[in-house]
Amino acid sequence: MKYTKLGNSDLTVSRICMGCMGFGNAQTGQHSWTIDEEHSREIIKRGLELGVNFFDTAIGYLNGTSEEYVGRALRDFAKRDDVVVATKFVPRSQAEIDAGVTGQQHIAKVLDTSLQHLGIDYVDLYIYHMWDYNTPIYDIMEGLNNAVKAGKVRYIGISNCYAYQLAKANAIAEQNSFAKLVSIQGHYNLIFREEEREMARL
């Protein structure tokens, strides 16, 4: 396995990251094709044996059961300091918006839930899963900065966004001395190469 630094962070990650969207209780989420905990554990263990140290999950994957599976497997098969754990949070729900829950409050709540699922005190990379058009980006960036200051998150990233959104978010971070986004997880493969137009250049 080859390793590299994730962007300009201090995170040393395997060049192959294990995406964990396929792990989780298929009875509790939006995907019927996910695999159960026993088989998830086999894959995670084999990945560790092959040198994978970077695991990416999300609270939105099968209502948090992916996080639970990953957390239990990593506790059993690896030392916390030897792995890099990434998870993601989704935008505020309509019920939260109606109740006046702020972006900062939302992030604090869902992060604590993810940490509980994973059974750890902090995540190495906390990812803004998809752009929330109903919440000011300042609120999101301040909420993420609060999580970093609290020691619950080492670095922050984003996924499923446009280049201008990433630029806007980091500009706000820079203006306010907030933690900046260090990673982008986008739709990119041999056929779909749109990320090369603006995102990769950014």
Q: Which residues are catalytic?
A: 61
Pair 59, 114: CB distance under 8 Å = yes
Residue owning tokens 């894959």: 43
* 28 DSSP 8-state letter: S
Q: What angle do CA 153, 159, 160 make, to 5 degrees?
A: 155
Cα 73 to Cα 38, 70, 175, distances in angstroms: 10, 5, 40
DSSP element (H, E) containing 91: none
3-state secondary structure 126-149: EEECCCCCCCCHHHHHHHHHHHHH
> Measured on CA atoms in the order 135, 139, 143, 148, is the torsion positive or negative?
positive
Q: Distances in Å between the alpha carbon of 30 and those of 17, 64, 117?
A: 23, 12, 18
CA distance 76 to 183: 28
